[in-house]
Amino acid sequence: MNKLTPSPCELCDSAGGDTLWRDELCRVVLVGDRDYPGFCRVILNRHVSEMTDLDAATRQRLMRVVFAAEQALRQLLLPEKINLASLGNMVAHLHWHVIPRFGDDKHFPGSVWGAAHRPGTPRPIDRAALQRSLHTLLQAVAE
Amino acid sequence: MNKLTPSPCELCDSAGGDTLWRDELCRVVLVGDRDYPGFCRVILNRHVSEMTDLDAATRQRLMRVVFAAEQALRQLLLPEKINLASLGNMVAHLHWHVIPRFGDDKHFPGSVWGAAHRPGTPRPIDRAALQRSLHTLLQAVAE
């Protein structure tokens, strides 16, 4: 991966999850969160901190991938809500969290970064179906 | 405001903060968070839950406003990091959190929805300067 900073960065040094899709700009990975099996991240392939460090066209391309991940997860899991977030306080390498949320999940209606409200009811993810859906939706982005 | 659902929704029924800018699609408000004076929200004027409920062009228009808010806050406050998030688990009416973060703020490097790490060092916001910057940046969006 293209590493522009001398400091170690786990998203420069590793895929950051189980890669479902990738192009030159970014990749979509399954995080492998036990409580949130459908939790995906869209990770920029370059070490950049903020969306406004990218030009407008590149921002738009990245967001199309984020929204494709949202769409694929919605179609597959019918979640109560999708949570989207680009925080990066700990790893300042652009990555978007795309998290399908359910009324009986561990933190609902709080954020997944807050206090747990219950043990949670993880829903297994059909990885192959998610990957197929993503590839179909992102084919349109590439064209 | 355009209210499409019968259930009460605070973002249909009120501005949701101190409005800095608005157009037909959305508004940018200062939340008025004591710990995060620069915390803004970009709120859709219609009651819609998910980004992928909007068509691609509308999503793009909304994100341009989110990124303008990010840009204006970066220019004004020089934050350590910007946090962007669309959660909506409690109020399922599309709104984006745009939060300037600092190494000595109440939750850094955690999310603002997690446990506090310290009392925090709020930085006053120059409302007039933020509004001017937003209007300048968003003039380009409108054209």
Over residues A46-71, the mean pLDDT reads 98
The two three-digit tokens of residue B5, written as one number: 């659902």
State how far the Cα of A90 lies from the Cα of B107, in Å rounded to an integer. 12
DSSP code string of chain B: -B--SSS--HHHHS-SSEEEEE-SSEEEEE---SS-TT-EEEEESB----GGGS-HHHHHHHHHHHHHHHHHHHHHH--SEEEEEE--SSS-S-EEEEEEE-TTSSSTTS-TTS---SS-------HHHHHHHHHHHHHHHH-
Is residue A18 predicted with pLDDT exceeding 90? yes
pLDDT at site A1: 44
Judging contacts by C-beta atoms under 8 Å, the chain A residues touching residue B141 are: none
Question: pTM for the complete prediction?
Answer: 0.94
Over residues B29-41, the mean pLDDT reads 96
Q: What is the pLDDT of residues B74-106, one digit of tens each?
A: 999 999 999 999 999 999 999 999 999 999 999
pLDDT category, B140, cuts 50, 70, 90? Answer: low
Put simply, the answer to whether B84 touches A86 (Cβ < 8 Å) is yes
Is residue A143 predicted with pLDDT exceeding 70? no
Judging contacts by C-beta atoms under 8 Å, the chain B residues touching residue A50 are: 70, 74, 81-82
Put simply, the answer to whether A70 touches B51 (Cβ < 8 Å) is yes
pLDDT at site B122: 81
Is residue A21 predicted with pLDDT exceeding 50? yes
Judging contacts by C-beta atoms under 8 Å, the chain A residues touching residue B103 are: none
Q: What strands lie across the sheet with A40-44, from one edge to the other? A: A18-22, A26-30, A40-44, A95-101, A81-86, B81-86, B95-101, B40-44, B26-30, B18-22
- A59, A76, A84, A104: best mutation site toward chain B, by most B Cβ within 10 Å? A84
Q: Which of A115-124, A126-135, B4-13, B94-103 has the lowest mean pLDDT?
A: B4-13
Put simply, the answer to whether B81 touches A92 (Cβ < 8 Å) is yes
